[in-house]
Amino acid sequence: MESLYERSYRMEMGEVHLPGHHLYMVNDPTVVKQVMNDNAGNFPKSQLLADALRPLLGESIFTTNGAQWQRQRDMMDPAFGQTKLDVAFPAMWAATQDMLQRLGRLADEGAEPDIEIEMTHVTADIIFRTIFSEPITGEAAQRIFAAFARFQSIAPKLLLPSLYGIKWLVWPWDVWRSRKAAAEIRGLLASLVRPRYDAWQRGEGSEKDDILAAFMAARDPATGQPFGFDELVDQVGMLFLAGHETSASALTWSAHLLANAPDVQQRMHGEARTVLGDRAPQQRDMKELELTRNVFRESLRLFPPVGFMARESTKTCPMRDKTVPAGSSIVVSPWLIQRHRLRWPEPDVFNPDRYDNDASRDALRNAYLPFGMGPRVCMGAAFALQEATLILACLVRDFRLEPVAGHVPEPVGRLTIRSANGVRVKLFRRPAV
């Protein structure tokens, strides 16, 4: 990510032309709004990317378009309403407690862990518990987790050539490896969903109040039909991926930023102690953790997990001074927009207090979209904010984070923005007061 040209952070719109394919990168807020919201119907999700993700995500909501997507969204949205967030909170706290114990052991050993591994573990645990009402400690869960890591490492090699319309550059070996990982994940997920699905069909097993139960109960508003088994597995797979990969990335970068900002960390520790004390956090505490939320917000600005979003133009259309041909890829990059030199004061500086001043209001409105925008906006944004606030507040309440001398993480665009060399931090237990 850091090899992007400085002028990319100043431009309003850029273009790349390859034989037979055109790609436009849009930063101008008016055009972004046009693509993502006002004329979203003319700019569906890129099928080039969907093809690369299909072996894993099938016909899931992340990649479908049009009436098929609308039906899925209508059926799935209720699973993420406020009442479901209340139900998810105990699962989030249980997984966070396990994380704190693991971190405590690492701190006692004097280790300098790659915090990305811990953040991936805790967020995968949370989404697993909220989908299936089980922790991720079982054997099947561990195998899913390992296969996801393999899929994640191969995916960029498939996604970027697909986006540029040069799929022939993809190695058949990588395609084979990604399909193998995807098939393993889907097989394992299907084996977890199957008994619940069959019980549900027999009219049993409705006692669980988890996401799987909500998806099985969902009905197409037009036909009254539920999800079929395969489509249900598609949605569960997508949710497992979308629900932990992004949050893990965001929390990892938050930890990195905090380790390098001792003053902010100390203030956040004070906030966590005042609001939470030594007791178990309650859901209602989350709204009191204002600085924690601003730290997360600022971390999502500097390191948006979804570094770019790809759309396809279905019609030839004007954009600024250009004519964009039908079939072009349109890329909207939160990474560029949220560090744009013309929109944000001190764009590369970590400053969680910036949201309290008026100068940032416009930028927030026009140049901040870590969860996307318009009809395809992230379905799990409130879920992500709740879990991140809880995890970060507990992390700084119980531990002090320091950077590891000489270690400088290198952001790279994979499925989400990760670090090529990990994100190592030193952890020190804080004494209970």
**Spatial separation of the C-alpha atoms in residues 278 and 224, rounded to whole Å:** 48
**Spatial separation of the C-alpha atoms in residues 385 and 375, rounded to whole Å:** 19
Residues 78-137 close enough to bind ligand HEM by CB under 6 A? 127
- Of 281 and 372, nearer to ligand HEM (C-beta) is 372
Residues 210-269 close enough to bind ligand HEM by CB under 6 A? 239, 242-243, 246-247, 250
> Which of 31, 309, 363, 395 forms a contact with ligand HEM (CB under 6 A)?
309
Per CB under 6 A, 379 contacts ligand HEM? yes
> Which of 26, 50, 52, 61 forms a contact with ligand HEM (CB under 6 A)?
61
Query: What minimum distance in Å lies between the beta carbon of 229 and ligand HEM?
Result: 19
Q: How many residues bind ligand HEM (CB under 6 A)?
A: 23
Per CB under 6 A, 384 contacts ligand HEM? yes
Nearest residue to ligand HEM, scored by beta-carbon proximity: 380
- Of 61 and 363, nearer to ligand HEM (C-beta) is 61
> Which of 62, 89, 227, 335 forms a contact with ligand HEM (CB under 6 A)?
62
Per CB under 6 A, 378 contacts ligand HEM? yes
Query: What minimum distance in Å lies between the beta carbon of 206 and ligand HEM?
Result: 22
> Which of 306, 336, 401, 417 forms a contact with ligand HEM (CB under 6 A)?
306
> What are the backbone dihedrals phi and psi of residue 341, each rounded to the nearest 5 degrees, phi first?
-65, -30
Query: What minimum distance in Å lies between the beta carbon of 239 and ligand HEM?
Result: 6
Query: What minimum distance in Å lies between the beta carbon of 335 and ligand HEM?
Result: 11
- Of 170 and 391, nearer to ligand HEM (C-beta) is 391
Per CB under 6 A, 305 contacts ligand HEM? yes
Per CB under 6 A, 396 contacts ligand HEM? no
Write out the residues near ligand HEM by the rule CB under 6 A.
Answer: 61-62, 73, 127, 239, 242-243, 246-247, 250, 300, 305-306, 309, 370-372, 376, 378-380, 383-384
